[in-house]
């Protein structure tokens, strides 16, 4: 696992061989050691110092840096040998387990069809961002989105085409946003965009860009339907605070007005 030939490892300090890293800024609290996605967030652990402080370490997670290889996650235990001032370290590769955990975590928070956040995970993220905005005197904007005529697409072309439409909408939304912006599928034909540190004005600017992309994809679409959506925006700010439900309802009301207007124009 360490990729060290015996002849090259002989005579080296164990720290040169067993290079152990943990997630940075956790105060070396081994109870919360975890594998970080970013190498910049990792800090090397001096195991002898930890053992001096704790005496014994049991079944803790960290990441290991083999010789000329990528980091990989391990679970390890270690203890001191007082008689010869040595150490015993037992460790195992847990890459497969961590991959499984990541997949399960993704499935728990992701809408399976569109691969955006599901309702539960999305509302949790919105609540966190609203708390952050309040604490730091920031504003936050959301965009409530309803896909128009999804039922007609399902009835006329089949549910597979309806699913494809939802996937197209979610793909365009994801490609149009910043890294910290999130797309949430609330259910059925409804989506929510969460835009941290944004105003309602900024949200409308983002929406105009998204609308252009919808029109472009619709023009290139081989199907007999266009991608049509209605939207409504709302802002959470220190001057105008709302509860999570009030914020979403405000955007929903704006969306409904636009949908009603589109239907009226269509009938005319």
Q: Are residues 69 and 116 in the same domain?
A: no
Judge if 150 and 262 occupy the same domain: yes
From 97, 122, 143, the end of a domain falls on: 97
Binned at pLDDT 50, 70 and 90, residue 28 comes out as very low
Q: How far is residue 4's CA from residue 52's CA, in Å, rounded to a whole number?
A: 27
Is position 1 within any domain? no
- Residue the block writes with tokens 């597979």: 160
State the burial class of residue 48 (Cβ atoms within 10 Å of its Cβ: 0-12, 13-18, 19+). middle
123 and 182 share a domain? Answer: yes
- Residue 262 in any domain: the answer is yes
More confident residue, 123 or 55: 123
Residue 102 lies in a domain: no
Give the 3-state secondary structure of residue 177. coil
Pair 117, 188: CB distance under 8 Å: no
% of the chain residues with pLDDT over 70: 90
DSSP letters for 108-156: HHB-TTT-SB-HHHHHHHHHHHHHHHHHHT--EEEEEEEETTHHHHHHH
Instruction: Answer yes or no: do 91 and 112 share one domain.
Output: no
pLDDT of residue 84: 67
- 208 in the same domain as 134: yes
The pTM assigned to this predicted structure is 0.66
The pLDDT of residue 139 is above 60: yes
130 in a domain, yes or no?
Answer: yes
Residues 175 and 46 in one domain: no
Please, what is the average pLDDT of the chain? 84
pLDDT (average), residues 147-167: 91
The string of pLDDT tens digits covering residues 168-219 is 999 999 998 888 899 999 999 999 999 999 999 999 999 999 999 998 888 8
Choose between 120 and 80: higher pLDDT: 120
Tokens representing 80 are 């001191």
Residue 161, domain member (yes or no): yes
* Together in a domain, 127 and 45: no
Q: Annotated catalytic, 149?
A: no
Helices 119-136/95-109 angle, 10° precision: 90
Does 92 share its domain with 139?
no
- For 64-95, the pLDDT digits (tens) are 888 877 888 888 888 888 776 788 889 999 98
Domain end, chosen from 72, 97, 122, is at 97
Domain boundary, last residue among 97, 117, 138: 97
Domain range enclosing 12: 6-97
For residues 144 and 186, membership in a common domain is answered with yes
Q: Which domain CATH number covers 134?
A: 3.30.70.270
Measured distance CA(33)–CA(91) in Å, rounded = 15
Query: Which of the residues 41, 189, 245, 252 is marked catalytic?
Result: 189
Tokens for 45?
């652990």
In the DSSP assignment, the letter for residue 199 is -
Looking at the fold, whether 114 and 84 belong to one and the same domain comes out as no
With contact defined as beta carbons under 8 Å apart, do 259 and 146 qualify?
yes
Of 47 and 143, more confident: 143
What are the C-alpha distances in Å from 101 to residues 6, 96, 113?
34, 9, 20
Q: Confirm if 133 and 196 have CB atoms less than 8 A apart.
A: yes
Same domain as 83, residue 178? no
Same domain, 247 and 148: yes
CA separation (Å) from 195 to 4, 35, 173, 178, 188?
48, 28, 12, 8, 21
8 A C-beta contact, residue 74 and residue 2:
no
Question: How far apart are alpha carbons 265 and 267 in whole angstroms?
Answer: 5
State the total domains in the chain.
Answer: 2
């Amino acid at each position: 696992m360490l990729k060290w030939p015996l002849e090259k490892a002989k005579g080296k300090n164990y720290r040169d061989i067993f290079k152990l890293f943990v997630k940075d800024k956790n105060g070396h609290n081994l109870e919360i050691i975890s594998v970080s996605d970013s190498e910049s967030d990792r800090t090397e652990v001096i195991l002898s110092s930890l053992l001096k402080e704790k005496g014994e370490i049991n079944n803790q997670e960290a990441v290991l840096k083999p010789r000329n290889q990528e980091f990989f996650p391990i679970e390890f235990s270690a203890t001191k040998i007082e008689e010869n001032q040595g150490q015993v370290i037992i460790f195992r590769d847990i890459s497969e387990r961590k991959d499984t955990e990541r997949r399960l975590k993704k499935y728990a928070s992701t809408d399976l069809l569109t691969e955006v956040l599901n309702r539960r995970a999305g509302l949790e993220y919105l609540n966190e961002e609203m708390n952050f905005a309040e604490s730091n005197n920031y504003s936050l904007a959301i965009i409530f989105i309803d896909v128009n005529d999804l039922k007609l697409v399902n009835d006329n072309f089949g549910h597979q085409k309806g699913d494809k439409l939802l996937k197209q909408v979610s793909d365009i939304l994801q490609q149009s946003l910043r890294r910290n912006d999130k797309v949430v599928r609330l259910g059925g034909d409804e989506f929510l965009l969460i835009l941290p540190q944004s105003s309602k004005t900024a949200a409308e600017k983002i929406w105009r860009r998204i609308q252009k992309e919808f029109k472009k994809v619709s023009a290139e679409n081989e199907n007999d339907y266009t991608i049509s959506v209605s939207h409504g925006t709302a802002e959470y700010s220190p001057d105008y605070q709302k509860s999570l439900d009030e914020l979403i309802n405000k955007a929903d009301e704006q969306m409904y007005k636009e949908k009603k207007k589109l239907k009226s124009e269509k009938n005319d």
